Amino acid sequence: MKLSIVIVNYNVKYYLHQCLMSVEKAMRDFTCDVIVVDNCSSDGSVEFLRKMHPSVRFIENSENQGYACANNIAIRKSNSDYVLLLNPDTIITEETLASCLAFMDEHPKAGVLGLKMLKENGTFALESRRGVPTPSTAFYKMCGLTSLFPKSRMFGKYYMQYLDKEEVNRIEIVSGAFAFLRRQCLNETGYLDEDFFMYGEDIDLSYRILKRGWENYYLPTPILHYKGESTQKSSYRYVYRFYNAMLIFFNKHYGHYSILFSLPVKGAILAKGCMEYIHMKLHKCKSIKNEQDKYLRKHQCVYVGNATDYEAVSGIMTNKVADIRHIEYSDQDSVEVQANRIMTLLSSSCLSYVVVNIEDCNIGQTLVLMQQMANYVEALPRKQRKHVSIPKLATYMPSLQKVITSKHIFE
């Protein structure tokens, strides 16, 4: 077997369903071993997904054993030249797997490969490539110097923004949302460190790969990442696990530093975690206060597809948005033509979502469409850009009669 794809699921069956649909589209020319490890979900994920994806192997854990442990279980049960660790809240394109396999075959020293991850609004996700969070790099990030000087090779190394995001580059840290790994490298380096329950395990693995003499790469092939829909980011547990992972990484790789150096670093991590938790709680209170009237704002959607599906989407989204418009999709039209049609709506309305049929659309073209709209808005003069928001991608699944966004599932 050439490739095994490992996905860990926890109560996100609809996001995983569309992720698996995109994987199946990308597998049209070759066979992959797809393994889903369910971490004791309570939403009936396995029962639902088994019917929809009979070729997928499911492993059911009796308890939530954490992200690293769940991935390791599947890796040990696979036997392939390459292993792809993929988050359930991602959507890959028709060309993703073929591009990665070709690149890894052509670069025998590549241990792990990451891709160009896009947010739901088509903008570039900075987590697509990162530097090793050495004490100095982490300090620059936490004190804001990374944001002030993003292109600096010293202060901006955390996100490596001095590299061209449209070019292939060697990087240091590959995100665990999409990590295309060489089996030989995994065998030499070791699997994910299970001391990391969630978060940090990808940083640790990438760093260990570099220390073994392998190379980590970034390939500018786009995928969509909802960034965190597979985890709960509104609780103390999230803050604890995220910043505790930073402490685990520091103790593991920099624990030999003197106490005069290590104590301030650990203190800074703990202080940052407390500030994050307070900020999160304040934001949550504000969100609850605005919950009742959030749909009274003049949000609009546009559906790109045929008239029959437009009627179904309109029925689902009624009372959810102020208005939903229709742009007829044609195979004869280029992505640029579709983007121009949508962008004419941006200046005259508050366009919140672009809805596409995820079961029938070309995912690669859809992501190019989202990127073009994001670039259009970001290129506007500053005064005009304040009044125009970048629309987000929403997916329509006709087989389930649902519209999925990063925050809501409408039916």
Q: Are 179 and 85 in contact (CB under 8 A)?
A: yes
pLDDT computed for residue 251 by the predictor: 77
Is a pLDDT exceeding 80 seen at residue 97? yes
Confidence of residue 366 (pLDDT cuts 50, 70, 90): very high
CATH superfamily of 3-129+165-225: Spore Coat Polysaccharide Biosynthesis Protein SpsA; Chain A (3.90.550.10)
10 Å Cβ neighbour count for 108? Answer: 10
Average pLDDT score, the chain: 86
Is a pLDDT exceeding 80 seen at residue 235? no
Question: The tokens of 287 are what?
Answer: 């969100």
Q: How far apart are the C-alpha atoms of 223 and 92, rounded to whole Å?
A: 5
pLDDT computed for residue 138 by the predictor: 80
Top-ranked range on mean pLDDT: pick from 112-126, 250-264, 294-308, 347-361: 112-126
Question: The tokens of 43 are what?
Answer: 């939403």
Provide mean pLDDT across the span 116-137.
Answer: 93
pLDDT tens-digit series, residues 42-75? 999 999 999 999 999 999 999 999 999 999 999 9
Confidence of residue 380 (pLDDT cuts 50, 70, 90): confident
What is the number of alpha carbons within 13 Å of residue 184 lying toward its C-beta?
A: 11
Domain assignments of the chain as residue spans, ordered by start = 3-129+165-225, 236-290, 294-410
Q: How far apart are the C-alpha atoms of 152 and 155, rounded to whole Å?
A: 5
Share of the chain above pLDDT 70, in %: 84
Q: Are strands 300-305 and 409-410 parallel, antiparallel or unpaired?
A: unpaired
Confidence of residue 383 (pLDDT cuts 50, 70, 90): confident
Q: Any idea what DSSP says for residue 78?
A: -
Which residues are paired to 34 by β-bridges?
5
Q: In this structure, which topology does domain 294-410 adopt according to CATH?
A: Rossmann fold (3.40.50)
pLDDT computed for residue 292 by the predictor: 38
Q: Are 127 and 117 in contact (CB under 8 A)?
A: yes
Question: The tokens of 150 are what?
Answer: 């993003």
Closest-CA residue to 252 (of 239, 262, 242): 262
Is a pLDDT exceeding 60 seen at residue 30? yes
Question: The tokens of 124 are what?
Answer: 């570039």
pLDDT computed for residue 296 by the predictor: 38
Which pTM was predicted? 0.89
pLDDT computed for residue 108 by the predictor: 98
pLDDT tens-digit series, residues 210-228? 999 999 999 999 999 987 5
Confidence of residue 230 (pLDDT cuts 50, 70, 90): very low
pLDDT tens-digit series, residues 156-189? 999 999 999 999 999 999 999 999 999 999 999 9
pLDDT tens-digit series, residues 237-287? 666 667 677 778 777 887 666 554 556 656 666 666 676 667 666 665 544
